[in-house]
Amino acid sequence: MAAIRTKPDPQIYTFPGFGTDKFPNLMLRGAGDLDNWHLKVYEQKHEGYVAMKAALKLEPTAVVDEMKASGIRGRGGAGFPCGLKWSFMPKDTPERKFTRYLVCNGDEGEPGTFKDRAILEYNPHQLIEGMIIGGWAMQCKLGFVYIRGEFLWLIEKLEAALQQARDAGYLGKNILGTGWDYDILVYRGAGAYICGEETALLNSLEGRRGEPRVKPPFPAAKGAFGQPTTVNNVETLAAVPPILRMGGAEYAKLGTPKNTGTRIFGVSGHVKRPGLFELPLGTPMDFVVNELAGGSSTGRKLKAIIPGGASAPMFDEKDFDCPLDFDTVKARGSMAGSGGLICMDEDTCMVQATLRLIRFYAHESCGQCTPCREGCNWMEMVLYRIEHGEGRMEDLDLLASLTPRIGLRTLCPLGDAACGPMDSALQKFRHEFEHHITHKTCYATGSRLLSGVGAH
């Protein structure tokens, strides 16, 4: 099928200065190189497994200390310090020996987020190396990579890369003569966004419905198969080898003091060059969107940007200069989340966009907690009728009153995630909702979301 692109290409963009000290490429190293999944290429071209060999000569606690020194915060969404998370794993005592597991969360299902796919596709060995180092640091018995079911072609590639690592003696029994046995297994999900939540992922890994668990006990105490478990995102684990190579203190100099290192930002929506950009944390959002992604693709100016995947509250124009790090984005009322920037131009109908987002949460709610199961569906129905010109002014108050009854009232953050876009859209674009209700027409005429089908 030569004429048709059969393999997805996540469009990784390099730009002036990329790969230098200012914009180092740590996780996307080797990106675009389709042969990088071969062990030899990774070892010869990209300093592969150098960090692992060095780490295996260190005491496990020294590796955890190095991670703490790097200050890296989890790249999955919550931004919890990774070194601290690793240190929570219980140590063996004379009275009790633990079976510990390391789980890599590769269930990338959030709309607007497509970064883990690039690492799995172009840099699978770096992830494996990170998982071996993590496994050693926490003295795990097994590692699991939980990948979303749609990534079948990546699973085959990762399995092949794992086999190469086994053949080289990096996985299996008595790894490099350390006396430590460790292997990594791949587990394929089956299409449930909620399995990106760590306890739901563990349930799914155990062969159950992906329903989140009550915390505590936290996974570090009782995780996969009832044993102490650490769950890390693909990007976090892929950052481990560079951290060990350059040293935690050196890594901490990148980014901002409390948000260290680089991060992969995925830009999508109405921009000229949607794609992935690896940048130090704290890079201003307008630089990423306007300079690197080329600005608006439609010629109309951008009206809203979601800064961290579909669950993050939207930013309007006044916040476009926000530095992209966990703390500043939070201080401005949104969240850095998974690092997916979704850009919408001024002709985008915010009622439609919000409906599309809420419909996702209504569809993906696992149904375990009533506020989320019923609330998300209710929000969808109300938005649907506003969108169809049958809304009433009271509906806006109804929507505003629903979110405090869903958010923070559920086992997992899916309910909160639905409230983010809803609240922010109502606060920042209320006039568009009112226009829909009073005029029965769309405020943003000629909306890019509008297909031209149906009256609007």
Binding to another protein (CB under 8 A) within 337-396 occurs at 340, 342-344, 348-349, 352-353, 355-357, 359-360, 363-364, 366, 384, 387-388
Q: Is 215 in the site for another protein (CB under 8 A)?
A: no
Token pair in block for residue 182: 């460790």
Residue 211 vs 325, nearer CB to another protein: 211
Q: Is 8 in the site for another protein (CB under 8 A)?
A: yes
Q: Is 108 in the site for another protein (CB under 8 A)?
A: yes
- Helical residues (DSSP H) of 123-195, grouped into ranges: 124-137, 152-167
Q: Is 9 in the site for another protein (CB under 8 A)?
A: yes
Residue 206 vs 397, nearer CB to another protein: 206
| Under 8 Å between Cβ of 160 and 202 | no
Whole-angstrom Cα distance, residue 99 to residue 139? 9
Q: Is 210 in the site for another protein (CB under 8 A)?
A: yes
Whole-angstrom Cα distance, residue 337 to residue 326? 8
Judged by CB under 8 A, the chain residues 46 through 75 that form the site for another protein are none
Q: What minimum distance in Å lies between the beta carbon of 373 and another protein?
A: 13
Q: How many CB atoms lie within 10 A of CB 183?
A: 18
Q: Is 3 in the site for another protein (CB under 8 A)?
A: yes
Whole-angstrom Cα distance, residue 139 to residue 143? 11
Q: Return the bridge partners of 106, or none.
A: 147
Q: Is 114 in the site for another protein (CB under 8 A)?
A: yes
What letter represents residue 218's amino acid? F
Judged by CB under 8 A, the chain residues 148 through 207 that form the site for another protein are 148-153, 156, 185, 187-193, 204-207
Q: What minimum distance in Å lies between the beta carbon of 324 and another protein?
A: 17
Residue 184 vs 399, nearer CB to another protein: 184
Q: What minimum distance in Å lies between the beta carbon of 81 and another protein?
A: 27
- Integer-rounded Cα Rg, in Å, for the chain is 22
Using CB under 8 A, pick the residue from 105, 268, 311, 334 that binds another protein. Answer: 268
Judged by CB under 8 A, the chain residues 228 through 267 that form the site for another protein are 266-267
Dihedrals phi, psi of 208, to nearest 5 degrees:
-110, 180
Dihedrals phi, psi of 207, to nearest 5 degrees:
90, 25
What letter represents residue 200's amino acid? A
Q: Is 443 in the site for another protein (CB under 8 A)?
A: no
Show Cβ contacts of residue 132 under 8 Å, excluding neighbours closer than 6 positions: 52, 143, 165, 170, 171, 175, 182, 184
Whole-angstrom Cα distance, residue 137 to residue 100? 11
Residue 447: name the closest of 260, 298, 318 by CA.
298
Using CB under 8 A, pick the residue from 30, 60, 130, 274 that binds another protein. Answer: 274
Q: What minimum distance in Å lies between the beta carbon of 20 and another protein?
A: 23
Judged by CB under 8 A, the chain residues 308 through 327 that form the site for another protein are 310
Whole-angstrom Cα distance, residue 415 to residue 399? 14
- Identify which range of 89-97, 237-245, 281-289, 444-452 contacts another protein by CB under 8 A: 444-452
Residue 55 vs 120, nearer CB to another protein: 120
Residue 196: name the closest of 278, 125, 104 by CA.
104
Q: What minimum distance in Å lies between the beta carbon of 320 and another protein?
A: 17
- Length of the chain (residues): 456
Q: Return the bridge partners of 373, or none.
A: none
Q: What minimum distance in Å lies between the beta carbon of 149 and another protein?
A: 5
Strands 340-345 and 262-269 come out as: parallel
Q: What minimum distance in Å lies between the beta carbon of 325 and another protein?
A: 22
| Under 8 Å between Cβ of 267 and 296 | no
Residue 229 three-state SS: strand
Residue 41 vs 186, nearer CB to another protein: 186
Q: What minimum distance in Å lies between the beta carbon of 82 and another protein?
A: 23
Residue 77 vs 241, nearer CB to another protein: 77
Residue 116 vs 197, nearer CB to another protein: 116
Q: What minimum distance in Å lies between the beta carbon of 316 and another protein?
A: 16
- Identify which range of 2-10, 161-169, 322-330, 426-434 contacts another protein by CB under 8 A: 2-10
Whole-angstrom Cα distance, residue 414 to residue 405? 13
Residue 80 vs 225, nearer CB to another protein: 225
From residue 194, how far is each of 229, 340, 361 by CA, in Å?
19, 18, 10
